[in-house]
Structure 1
Amino acid sequence: METGRSNEINLVKGKKVYFASDQHFGAPNEKDSKIREKKFINFLDSIKGDCQVLFLLGDLFDFWHEYKTVVPKGFVRILGKLAELSDMGIVLYFFTGNHDLWMRDYLQNELSIILYTNEQEFDINNKKFFIAHGDGLGPGDKSYKTMKKIFTNPLARWLFQWLHPDIGVTLGNYFSRKNKLISGEEDIKFLGEDNEWLIVFSKEKLKDKKIDYFIYGHRHLPMDLPIGEQKQSHYVNLGDWISYFTYAVFDGESLKLLTYNDN
């Protein structure tokens, strides 16, 4: 985990914390992506009046790689909207996901977004939050964990950056869009508490300390489940902005998982 940052948030009266994840902008193609991008921008407009903090829990882009002086083309509208929120004084946190794990410092320098590459614990109005994208946590998924180690290896990143951006970004987009979650070829179904890796991980975490809310992305299936011996903690998966258009909001006392509808 990154250190040296204060992970304590005290909400001003009337202000809230919002959480969203897995927008996968860029997929499945530019035309369809812009429709979803516009919907997410409308959502951001709808919350900016009472939003004090916005957490984006990864996979905002279906593929993202930052070269030293080059970033992927497109996404001007969403980046501009995030810049507007930042300029308004809204604090933005971003947790890299498995599709945008090759971020460097572009969002930090241009938008003042606070970037995390690993899970973090936050104290928000005296409630304990465990926040992560969720990829690679818990048991199982050994093949992905091996792949992630390769992709995040400094040597692998150094070698990839020597590909011309037209080649590197094209390859990245191709393999990201082959993902079954994006193509719709794979149904997302609840596997039961004993088979959901992030739930198993969260329950193990509760054996060591009290956590009020576990907030994750990655799974694409919106869930809000009470867990723990007394069922006083909550496992929350934020869903996605591909099929569900879901998000969570914390008002300082309780958290709700909601669906955005701009009709």
Structure 2
Amino acid sequence: MSDKQKIYFASDQHFGIPDFESSKLREKKFMSWLDEIKSDAKAIFLLGDLFDFWFEYKTVVPKGFVRVLGKIAELRDSGIPIYFFVGNHDLWMIDYFETELGIPVFHRPKEYEFEGKTFLIGHGDGLGPGDKGYKRMKKVFSHPLSKWFYRWLHPDIGVKLAQYLSTKNKLISGDEDIKFLGEDNEWLAQYAKRKLEQKHYDYFLFGHRHMPMEIKVGENSTYINTGDWISHFTYAVFDGKELALKTYQ
């Protein structure tokens, strides 16, 4: 690798909750981390749920987050590639990041190869066995007709409604779901094992579970979850040889 030798991965910041002041403190911590890694970052991957709610109207985006967006724009303008994978809280993202910040946005897991190592990267929601209720709900939320109808709501109503659902509706966000299920039962680990039946990957990188974890899913394959920036403040970093989980102090 060049002097910019590390690739960073982070997810599930959920900026906007539980309130303005608490979110602002976490935003500052996240921006401090971005400032620290910009000296050696070859690329940065944001694996979804950067915001607890994001919906793009044609001419309106949610109020707030100006410091975070400004810091991301600063890093991108400095030449650091940044990639964004939408999560279940920002799945209504369309092209704002692409047109305003020059950041590509992906709605499905994507394959990459770095220094001879193969990665499958995504947010993680709706993958693996089970969770059929959420998968059905996601199809409804992401359907073009649903988005068209929702866009007709005034933003003051649409954003307020979505924020309520985001924090209250278990189908979208449930704290009781944030429990370690065991290495054999973690559904993203099961998803990784099934993918290995079709093709080899050295690493599977996802967020969504809000728990930092590292699970061997094959003889030479590892599933890593990047945790969150609500209670863990964790991220993953690839130094050209190994992928490791870190905690930002």
**What is the TM-score of this pair, normalised by structure 2?**
0.96
Give the number of aligned pairs: 249
Matched, 1:258 2:235: no
> 1:183, CA displacement in angstroms?
9.0
Matched, 1:176 2:162: no
What does residue 239 of structure 1 align with?
Answer: 227
What percent identity do the matched residue pairs reach?
Answer: 63
Matched, 1:194 2:189: no
Matched, 1:80 2:59: no
User: Taking structure 1 as reference, are residues 97 and 20 closer, same or farther at Cα in structure 2, changes over 3 Å only?
Assistant: same
> 1:184, CA displacement in angstroms?
8.5
> 1:186, CA displacement in angstroms?
2.8
Q: Give CA deviations for 1:97-149 in whole Å, capped at 9, x if unaligned.
A: 00000001111111111110111010111110000100000100000000000
User: Taking structure 1 as reference, are residues 204 and 253 closer, same or farther at Cα in structure 2, changes over 3 Å only?
Assistant: same
Aligned-CA RMSD value:
1.7
Matched, 1:100 2:90: yes
What does residue 113 of structure 1 align with?
Answer: 103
Provide the C-alpha distance between the structure 1 equivalents of 2:125 and 2:172, rounded to a whole number of angstroms: 16
User: Taking structure 1 as reference, are residues 179 and 124 closer, same or farther at Cα in structure 2, changes over 3 Å only?
Assistant: farther
- Are the equivalent residues in 2 in contact too, given 1:238–1:248 (CA < 8 A)? yes
Provide the C-alpha distance between the structure 2 equivalents of 1:220 and 1:258, rounded to a whole number of angstroms: 14
> 1:189, CA displacement in angstroms?
2.6
Provide the C-alpha distance between the structure 2 equivalents of 1:181 and 1:236, rounded to a whole number of angstroms: 24
Matched, 1:204 2:168: no
What does residue 7 of structure 1 align with?
Answer: none
Aligned partner of 1:151 among 119, 136, 141: 141
Provide the C-alpha distance between the structure 2 equivalents of 1:180 and 1:37, rounded to a whole number of angstroms: 25
Aligned partner of 2:31 among 13, 38, 41: 41
Matched, 1:19 2:16: no
Counterpart of 1:123 in structure 2: which amino acid?
A: E
- Are the equivalent residues in 2 in contact too, given 1:28–1:183 (CA < 8 A)? no
- Are the equivalent residues in 2 in contact too, given 1:21–1:60 (CA < 8 A)? yes
Instruction: Classify the secondary structure of the residue corresponding to 1:190.
Output: coil
**What is the TM-score of this pair, normalised by structure 1?**
0.91
Q: Which runs of 4+ in 1 moved over 6 A?
A: 180-184
- Are the equivalent residues in 2 in contact too, given 1:22–1:57 (CA < 8 A)? yes
> 1:20, CA displacement in angstroms?
0.1
Matched, 1:30 2:15: no
Unaligned runs of 5+ in 2: none
Counterpart of 2:226 in structure 1: which amino acid?
A: L
Which deviates more from structure 2 when the two are superposed, residues 190-199 or residues 214-223?
A: 190-199
Provide the C-alpha distance between the structure 1 equivalents of 2:170 and 2:26, rounded to a whole number of angstroms: 18
